[in-house]
Amino acid sequence: MNKVFILGAGIMGTGITQIFAQNNFEVTIFSRNIEKCSLLKENIKKILLEKAKKEEEEVFQILSNIKISSDLSDAKKSDFIIEALPENMEIKKEYFKKLSDVVSNTTILATNTSALSITEISSVVKCPENVVGVHFFNPAPIMNLVEIIKSVTTSEETVEKIKKVSNRINKEVIVIDEVPGFIVNRIL
């Protein structure tokens, strides 16, 4: 799994994009606002140079791993999709349904939701066994924890693939069955 499609160019989408690009994944970030995505690369560049103290050449390499898109059909060749849209069930379901019509039956569809039902989100897709929650914490490039949330239909194969990907991006993983608030937000 080397091709990642990130849906949403807000704070979480930007942070998740940075993580995968830094770890040599081919990342496509989608936003209906292409100008926002252009600013995203500049923001990541600034963070890498000023805060992460990366060298110019390394930053150039990381940024070369990022492609910007305003076309959902660009998700077609992705192995793994992470949705990082606002916490609105109807918006998430709308995009998951659209993506389900575009991607292959083996593509993993993940949501970065912090509390919404993975089972409900997966109800609109063709292959609900490939839908999983992958909850990154803000700021995503710094926070080491990732919650992997299984819905009632998520396959063990999907969970194992996400665990491997999470290890490749140097994240600590908690795998849980879907419960209200998941683990971290429920404790908070």
Catalytic residue among 64, 104, 138, 185: 185
Q: Give the separation between CA 12 and CA 16, rounded to whole angstroms.
A: 6
Q: Give the separation between CA 18 and CA 12, rounded to whole angstroms.
A: 10
Catalytic residue among 70, 114, 123, 155: 114
56 is catalytic: no
156 is catalytic: no
DSSP code, position 48: I
DSSP three-state, residue 60: helix
147 is catalytic: yes
Catalytic residue among 147, 151, 166, 178: 147
* Amino acid occupying residue 137: F
- Contact, 174 vs 145, CB < 8 A? yes
Q: Give the separation between CA 168 and CA 163, rounded to whole angstroms.
A: 9
User: What's the CA angle centered on 171, arms 188 and 63, to 5 degrees?
Assistant: 115
Catalytic residue among 31, 65, 135, 166: 135
64 is catalytic: no
Hey, which residues are catalytic here? 114, 135, 147, 185
